Amino acid sequence: MGAIKGQCLCGDVAFELVAEISHVDACHCTMCRRWTGSAFISADIRSSNALKFSSDETLKWYRSSDWAERGFCSKCGSSLFYRLTENDEFLAVNSGSLDLPSGLSLTKEIFIDEKPDYYALEGDRPRLTGAEFMASLQASNEEV
């Protein structure tokens, strides 16, 4: 119920997320900023089954680290997905690609220590440095 549509800029990668999206999160790390052009604001999904493509011929994956890869459209260049190579349950979908309902809140910012001074996201929420974020993963045994 309530599938959310998503697509790249040209539309050749088109998909639906069959998931309840209650919030989005932002990553300010240098890699995400190079990849998206600024903060990577994503809806995080905990089930790979939630992603259903209607078109994915131009979708390509770039292995950005030992543990993750990033999906993009090879025709228009849109940054779309971040996934862990050893945990196919986790998927972060670029919020800009999604037709999200209004009223969603941004609940967490990570790698705040890598955010440049020329922008800031308003509002009160946890803002974790890279070290704090990595420590929180160890503590919760949750992978992002």
- Contacts to Zn ion by CB under 5 A: 8, 10, 12, 27, 29, 32, 73, 75-76
- What are the backbone dihedrals phi and psi of residue 31, each rounded to the nearest 5 degrees, phi first? -65, -45
Work out how close the CB of 1 gets to Zn ion at its nearest, in angstroms, rounded to a whole number. Answer: 28
Contact 94, 80 (CB under 8 A): yes
Smaller CB distance to Zn ion: residue 50 or 92?
A: 92
Work out how close the CB of 34 gets to Zn ion at its nearest, in angstroms, rounded to a whole number. Answer: 10
Smaller CB distance to Zn ion: residue 20 or 77?
A: 77
Cβ contacts of 16 within 8 Å, gap of 6 or more = 3, 4, 5, 6, 51, 52, 54
Smaller CB distance to Zn ion: residue 1 or 118?
A: 118
Work out how close the CB of 33 gets to Zn ion at its nearest, in angstroms, rounded to a whole number. Answer: 8
Cβ contacts of 123 within 8 Å, gap of 6 or more = 105, 106
